[in-house]
């Protein structure tokens, strides 16, 4: 009889343990136990900035969190933040300046985490040019991507060097920044990313001078941010919290094994060039993680206030919007919600 009791008690304990485990794993799952669909609007085509996302997908970290994450490549880079505001996506990757412009347009969006906590946007010229400083761009041609707030960047950069926009020739080349400088059509670029175009120029042996805009007088800002709708944050923020925690896991895994993470990224898009992507991933990974013991995804409200003041001074937004309206750090790993 004693053995029977022991077996009965053991069976009951196993049932209880299974029930507790099932309850713990149901944070974001529906009543059916299936993962919650979660639409992620990417900022652009798949590139090394997304390596942590695809590593987390491959490792099953989003699934562990009860999320069926579906990254979607936008047809227009300006679309993701609008899709989030309209409730057509759960989360979007965008840019700090775009968050401010969206709020100026009346869109109810909030940044919930920084994927890259510093500017990637850079001014670049080639090593075989006779340019050694911004002041030597007078009379030269500068290719830009045609983004309005980057025109303000250029005016600030030139002004600090004693020049004005009238002292240079600007040509809007859209996404064709590299062809413009490689063909000699432009002497310098503004709008290229240091970890993408900068890396490609280095691999081509062009010895480029690469200067992030915050090193040339533009206030620092978070280049890539995760953006949600204010309504979603008010009503159901938990899935976003779980997404960010899983993304951190994927990003740290990628940093620990860049080669494996690169293979995951290459498998996600047949359009990527393997040797170039490997170099870009190695340049990008240190930028996707905070320095030292800083909190993953943290956005500095003081820096956001300073950048909002710059946007106001440049006439890009009508009035300086406070960081308390533009961002929240409450959903980041390790944060305690109010």
Q: Are strands 141-144 and 188-193 parallel, antiparallel or unpaired?
A: parallel
Q: Do the beta carbons of residue 124 and residue 197 sit within 8 Å?
A: yes
pTM assigned to the model = 0.88
For helices 238-256 and 258-268, angle between their N-to-C axes, nearest 10 degrees = 120
Q: How many CB atoms lie within 10 A of CB 112?
A: 25
Question: Could you tell me the sign of the dihedral formed by the alpha carbons of 19, 23, 24, 30, in that order?
Answer: positive
The answer to whether 133 and 144 have CB atoms below 8 angstroms apart is no
Helices marked H in 192-322: 197-203, 230-235, 238-256, 258-268, 274-284, 301-313
Q: What sign has the CA pseudo-torsion 95, 101, 107, 112?
A: positive
Beta carbons of 199 and 105 less than 8 angstroms apart: no
pLDDT at residue number 292: 82
CB distance 284 to 48 below 8 Å: yes
Residues 57 and 50: beta-carbon distance below 8 Å: no
* Domains parsed from the chain with CATH numbers: 36-117+222-326 (3.40.190.10), 121-215 (3.40.190.10)
Print pLDDT tens along the chain (338 aa): 344 333 333 333 333 333 333 344 334 444 456 889 999 999 999 999 999 999 999 999 999 999 999 999 998 878 899 999 999 999 999 999 999 999 999 999 999 999 999 999 999 999 999 999 999 999 999 999 999 899 999 999 999 999 999 999 999 999 899 999 999 999 999 999 999 999 999 999 999 999 999 999 999 999 999 999 999 999 999 999 999 999 999 999 999 999 999 999 999 999 999 999 999 999 999 999 998 888 999 999 999 999 999 999 999 999 878 999 999 999 999 886 55
Determine the pLDDT at residue 47: 96
């Amino acid at each position: 009889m004693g053995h029977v009791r022991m077996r009965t008690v053991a069976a009951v304990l196993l049932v209880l343990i299974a029930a507790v485990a099932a309850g713990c794993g149901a944070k974001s799952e529906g009543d059916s136990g299936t993962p919650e669909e979660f639409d992620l609007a990417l900022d652009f085509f798949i590139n090394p900035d997304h390596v942590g996302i695809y590593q987390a997908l491959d490792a099953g970290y989003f699934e562990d969190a009860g999320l069926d994450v579906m990254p979607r490549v936008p047809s227009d880079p300006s679309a993701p933040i609008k899709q989030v505001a309209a409730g057509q996506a759960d989360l979007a990757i965008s840019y700090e300046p775009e968050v401010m412009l969206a709020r100026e347009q009346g869109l109810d969006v909030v940044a919930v985490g920084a994927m890259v906590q510093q500017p990637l946007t850079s001014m670049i010229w080639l090593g075989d040019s006779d340019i050694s400083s911004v002041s030597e761009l007078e009379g030269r041609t500068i290719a830009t991507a045609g983004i309005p707030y980057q025109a303000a960047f250029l005016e600030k950069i030139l002004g600090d060097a004693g020049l004005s926009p009238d002292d240079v020739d600007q040509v809007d080349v859209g996404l064709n920044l590299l062809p413009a400088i490689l063909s000699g059509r432009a002497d310098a670029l503004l709008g290229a990313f240091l970890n993408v175009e900068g890396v490609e120029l280095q691999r081509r042996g062009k010895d480029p001078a690469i200067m992030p805009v915050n090193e040339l007088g533009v206030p620092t800002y978070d280049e890539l941010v995760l953006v949600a709708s204010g309504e979603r944050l008010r009503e159901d923020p938990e899935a976003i919290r779980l997404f960010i925690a899983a993304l951190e896991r994927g990003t740290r895994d990628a940093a620990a094994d860049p080669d494996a993470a690169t293979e995951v990224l290459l498998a996600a898009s047949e359009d990527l060039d393997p040797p170039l992507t490997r170099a870009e991933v190695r340049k990008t990974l240190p930028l996707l993680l905070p320095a030292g013991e800083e909190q993953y995804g943290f956005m500095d409200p003081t820096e956001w206030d300073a950048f909002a003041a710059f946007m106001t001074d440049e006439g890009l937004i009508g009035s300086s919007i406070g960081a308390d309206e533009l961002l929240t750090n409450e959903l980041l790993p390790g944060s305690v919600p109010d």
